[in-house]
A and B are shown apart, each in its own frame.
Chain A
Amino acid sequence: MDYFRNILTWRELIVEMAFHRLTGRYRRSILGPFWITLGFLIFALGITTLWATLLDRPFAHFFPYVTLGIFAWNLTGGMLVESSRSFAESRNLLLQCNAPTVIYPLISVLKNIMQIPNYLVVVIPVCLMFGASASLQLLWLMPGLGLLILFSACVAVIMAYLGAFLPDLSELVSSSLRFIFFLTPTIWTIDMRPGMPPVWLANPFYYAIELVRGPVLGTSEPVFIFSIAFGLTVLAALIAVACVRFAGDAVKLRVE
């Protein structure tokens, strides 16, 4: 508990660093962070148009599905990729500041959370216009989003500490996620190939995405998804705590 209290004393630095990481990249651009929104919209539109054309199905059938899938994927994937190099990127600060080392992956996590409004600007109108299901399942949305963030944050912390000891991890994570993106029903639906074995059930990213998409579109059973995701989160949290406990200080010697 003292350790968590110690992390809280550094909350202002975490927020400030996350804000500067988010805005620093776009300082010289005209649109600024709105490029996140624009890039997301263009990608979702492109994929939806492709599916609608190739499979001869209505645009409205795919658009909210693809939009929500990419939103959840970008949220999780962004945290994982950035956290895996968070210690290397913060090396200068890491060796000067006596803050707990876990704040560096938390900065990456918070930066990605701060980007959520950029996605919601597209996601909310798309879902409203193209048929989100107005049912009690929507009550699972906020807890689902909260659990998605918590799960992603725990895995991000694990990736950060592994990245300190395995220098090529960020490259491996980036490359792997490009492949896993297509392996996961992010932009394709599980009914596209009838009779396909349900391999997605063994994919943690499927549960992560359905935490958000299922309540809105009714694409999955929320109790089942939430239960599995909760179990995965507990496991990830235990591993993350172990990483902080056993490698919390040693990581500074690795980047020295």
Chain B
Amino acid sequence: MTINPTPAQPSPLISLENISVHVPVREWSSRPLKSRFDMIGRAYAMAQRTRWSPILQHVWLDLKPGQRVGIIGPNGSGKSTLLKLLAGALPQSGGRAYRRGKIVAILSSQAGFVMQATGYENIFLRGLMLGMSRREISDRIDDIIEFADIGKHIYEPIGNYSSGMLLRLAFAISTAFDAEVLLIDEWIGTGDAEFLEKARARLEAVVANSRILVLASHNSRVIRSFCNEAVLMLDGQIAHRGDVDTTVDIYRHWLETQKGVGG
């Protein structure tokens, strides 16, 4: 009798255990130190009283190879914060986070761009920001320039670019590098239909080369296209995790409930 051994479950590349993130919020309007004439210490303390606001709470999340997770939720629910935390760009206030493997986070369309620098120079800047070496960037620069389709403007300062050109350049750079864990924030879903069509094939190739994808988006079509499960964020907590259709339905039901509450 042959016994087929149970395939071992892959171990998670990212694991979040009871994560919380609190940020300081000033309760009083900030007053410059030197504009006060009373006792500096007391005036400064009064002007700078802060409270800590939770933007993520009680988050437990394991991400294993093969998972394509979409994060949905209303504005302010903590989607971007969760992505930053997964990327290691933001520290947790409580709980433990474990990460391994090469993580590429595409969290903003324009982060790392220097407006006075040329498109060519910004390719290197943004690539370095993503943790690549100059050699890796040099190996891919022709591919980036070709996909961005900016022509000779690539040697002009990006402060002269249109928003469409910036978006194409940012997308081209961000999707040029292989990653084990790919984290994408919702700016990917912006752009006109022509851009989305052009971006789709490239994104599919990048996603196929990565072991884990986490994608935050308002666009349920984008989530359905690229993800095999979804997480619903509400008020800084994971309200539901499951297949995409069910999670999107739960979100839609919640939105309708909110409209009803709002009158």
Chain A residues close to B by CB (< 8 Å): 10, 12-13, 16-17, 20, 24, 27, 92-99, 166-168, 171-172, 175, 249-250, 252-254, 256
- What are the residues of chain A within 8 A of B24 when measuring CB–CB? 253-254
B129: contacting residue among A93, A168, A171, A175, CB under 8 A:
A93
Also in contact, A256 and B90, with CB within 8 A (given A12-B133, A92-B111): yes
- What are the residues of chain A within 8 A of B87 when measuring CB–CB? 96, 98
Decide if B124 touches A95 in the complex (CB within 8 Å): no
Decide if A27 touches B111 in the complex (CB within 8 Å): no
- Residue of chain A at shortest CB distance from B55: A256
Chain B residues close to A by CB (< 8 Å): 21-24, 30, 32-34, 84, 87-91, 93, 103, 105, 107-108, 110-112, 114, 116-117, 121, 124-125, 128-131, 133-134, 157
What are 29 A-B contacts defined by CB distance under 8 Å? A12-B128, A13-B128, A20-B116, A20-B125, A24-B116, A92-B108, A92-B111, A95-B84, A95-B89, A96-B84, A96-B89, A96-B111, A97-B89, A97-B130, A97-B131, A98-B88, A99-B129, A99-B131, A167-B30, A168-B34, A171-B32, A172-B33, A252-B89, A252-B90, A253-B21, A253-B22, A253-B23, A254-B24, A256-B90
- What are the residues of chain B within 8 A of A172 when measuring CB–CB? 33-34
- Residue of chain B at shortest CB distance from A13: B128
- Residue of chain A at shortest CB distance from B112: A93
Majority SS at the chain A contact face:
helix
B23: contacting residue among A98, A249, A256, CB under 8 A:
A256
Decide if A249 touches B108 in the complex (CB within 8 Å): no
- What are the residues of chain B within 8 A of A16 when measuring CB–CB? 124-125, 128
- Residue of chain B at shortest CB distance from A172: B33
